[in-house]
Structure 1
Amino acid sequence: MSRRNQIVLVIMVIIGLGIFAYSLRNVALAQLMHDLVHINGWWLILAVVCMIGYLLIESRIVQVFVKDRIKGFSFKDALRIPLIEQLFNGITPFSSGGQPAQLIAMIQTGVDGGRASSVLLMKFVVYQAMIVINFLIALAIGFQYLAEKLHYLALFVVFGFMIHLVVILGLLMIMFWHSFTKRMVNLLMRPLRWFVKPTRFATWQVTLDQKIDSFYHESVRIKSQWRLMVHVALLTLAQLSVYYLIPYFIMLSLGYSHVNILMVTALHVLIVMVISLFPIPGGAGGAEFSFEALFASYITSRSKLVLAMILWRVITYYLGMFTGMWAMAIKPDKVTEDIKD
């Protein structure tokens, strides 16, 4: 981990502590301590287990994809990948550092860079597709509530969904209309010539064409393995489901036992969609605000609302980052067996 990334990590922790402190400005410390002491630890542990389950299922997804191509890829090596992804997603704008960090982690295990890129690309496609499906379900359940209570957030949610939808549609176009998509992308890139040097533009164009071709060739291979894709899609649905349940178990731990599990889960899906729009690493500020705004109608106590937000943020954001630091320190096993045909 570079010194620059270490500095960013420290800054994000400081920013997080500052946001927590600001949220607590109107909360009596005695009331907060009372709520904390009387929390139901079993429900809270279950919320943590959901986050651990989310990471373990993603590890299994990585292993399924890699073992389809390469022998000897251990679960220990697979586990490092999502943990390192969590760390670099958390310290880079728009979670842009997660993919490159995963690639480097897989190369460290001995997986060829090209094969590692293909695995991560297909994992990304399935993940995006399941995100869109989950969002459509959540939209049907919770959008009316969102539009009535916080109509300004509804606009962010729809915009976030459109971004994810465009991404998955673009990937599907590459899979099924490869040549047309390449021509369209090159056409859309032409205005960039007015703002960058010709050599840089040519480099970008070649790189983009190579990535499109690489994804297309990998998609041709993977389309013939529909059982594998169905397996991974179901695992991804399970992964997202346990993640989206985390606020529900936090609310149960605080004594709110009569909340609607479907509505709470749907609202969490919408929050995650909003967070993806904020350029600050981890969606700092926007994540906390969205959580408090959406769950204020359910958690009427101000101290419990802030406590729920802090617990949610620690479990879903900081836990992943700190376990990612641990994963960075673990030496990976090397893939030593032959590549499958």
Structure 2
Amino acid sequence: MSRTNKIAAAVMVLLGLGIFAFEMRNLNLQVVWHTLMSLNLWWLAASLAVMIGSWVVESFVVRMFVEHEGERLSFKAAFRVPLVEQLFNNITPFASGGQPAQLVALMQAGVEAGRASSVLLMKFVVYQFMVLLNFVITLVFGFHQLATRFGPLALLIVFAFVIHIAVIVGLLLVMYQYKFTKKMVALLIKLAGVFVKPARQQQWQQTMDQKIDSFYAESLHLKQNRGKVYKAALLTFVQLLLYYSVPYFVLRSFGLAHLSLIEVMILHVMIVMIVSLFPIPGGTGGAEYSFKTLFAAYVPVASQLVLTMLLWRFLTYYLGMLMGGLALGVTPGRMAQTLPPEKNEPSA
């Protein structure tokens, strides 16, 4: 981990502490302490279990995509990948550092660079589709309630939905309309060239051509491994359900028994969509504000609301940073070759 990344991680932790200190400025500390002491530890343990469970399921996706012609990745090495991803997603704007970090983690485990890139591409495409599917389901069942109670946030959620649709459409265009996509991108860059120098325009064109060519070449693996893609989609769907259920178990740990698991998961999906719009690593600030706004009606006591937000944020954000930092210090197991059983030679 570079010095810059360490500084970024420290800044995000300090910023988070500052936000929590600000939120607790008007609270009675005795009430806060009493609320903490009355926590149901079983429900809290369940929230921790589903968070870790989502990483475990993701590691199965990684392991399944890596498996090829008898080669297998150990669970230890596969589990290290989502943890490293968590760390670098959480300290870089728009989670831009997660993909390169996963690539390095796979290469350290003995996966060849080109194949590691292919694995991460398939994982990324499947993840984006499953996020979109969860989002569509959420909009169908929960958007009306959200729009009537939280108007401004509803507009942000619609904007996030449009962004995710655009990403999916872009991926599909590259995969199935390769030549058309290259022409369209070239036209857009040419139009943008009105505002930039020719050298910069040429650099953009070369960069985009390289990225499109690389993505198209790797997308062929998706078409050739449809069975794996379908299995990975199912596992990723389960992974997301586990992740979206975290706040439900946190809220139950405070004795809030009147909650609906489905409603809480829908609200969490909305929060994740809103946070994805913020350029600040982890959506810090926006995440806390969204949680307070959406869950205020469910948690009427101020001390409980702030503490549930704190625990939720720790489990879904800071725990990933902590686990990712620990994972960096672990030497991953190398790829193992599983030889097929030898055939018995016919007797003379």
Q: TM-score range by the shorter chain?
A: over 0.9
Match of residue 293 from structure 2: 293
Match of residue 282 from structure 1: 282
Alignment of 1:92-103 (within 5 A): 92-103=92-103
Letter in structure 2 aligned against 1:229? V
Match of residue 250 from structure 2: 250
Match of residue 344 from structure 2: none
Match of residue 119 from structure 1: 119
Question: Which digits, 9 at most, give the CA deviation of each residue in 1:125-175, with x for residues without a partner?
Answer: 110100111011111222122212211111111111111111011101111
Q: Does 1:329 align with 2:332?
A: no
Match of residue 346 from structure 2: none
Q: Shift of the alpha carbon at 1:261?
A: 1.4
Kept in 1: contact 2:90–2:321 (CA 8 A): yes
Cα 1:207–1:118 change in 2 (3 A) is farther
Match of residue 129 from structure 2: 129
Q: Does 1:237 align with 2:237?
A: yes
The unaligned stretches of length 5 or more in structure 2 are 341-348
Match of residue 139 from structure 2: 139
Q: Shift of the alpha carbon at 1:181?
A: 1.2
Letter in structure 2 aligned against 1:257? A
Kept in 2: contact 1:141–1:262 (CA 8 A): no
Match of residue 261 from structure 1: 261
Q: Higher Cα Rg: structure 1 or 2?
A: 2
Kept in 1: contact 2:63–2:72 (CA 8 A): no
- Whole-angstrom CA distance in 2 between matches of 1:138 and 1:166: 18
Match of residue 8 from structure 2: 8
Structure 1 range deviating more: 250-259 or 269-278: 250-259
Structure 1 range deviating more: 43-52 or 199-208: 199-208
Match of residue 174 from structure 2: 174
Kept in 2: contact 1:147–1:154 (CA 8 A): yes
- Whole-angstrom CA distance in 2 between matches of 1:70 and 1:62: 15
The unaligned stretches of length 5 or more in structure 1 are none
Kept in 2: contact 1:129–1:168 (CA 8 A): yes
Tell me how many residue pairs correspond in the alignment.
340
- Whole-angstrom CA distance in 2 between matches of 1:317 and 1:221: 32
- Whole-angstrom CA distance in 1 between matches of 2:145 and 2:303: 23
- Whole-angstrom CA distance in 1 between matches of 2:339 and 2:210: 24
Letter in structure 2 aligned against 1:166? A
Q: Shift of the alpha carbon at 1:220?
A: 2.5
Cα 1:196–1:105 change in 2 (3 A) is farther
- Whole-angstrom CA distance in 1 between matches of 2:295 and 2:170: 34
Q: Shift of the alpha carbon at 1:75?
A: 1.5
Alignment of 1:1-341 (within 5 A): 1-68=1-68, 71-335=71-335, 337=337
Q: Shift of the alpha carbon at 1:200?
A: 4.3
Cα 1:243–1:336 change in 2 (3 A) is closer
Kept in 2: contact 1:141–1:263 (CA 8 A): no
Q: Shift of the alpha carbon at 1:195?
A: 4.5
- Whole-angstrom CA distance in 1 between matches of 2:103 and 2:267: 32
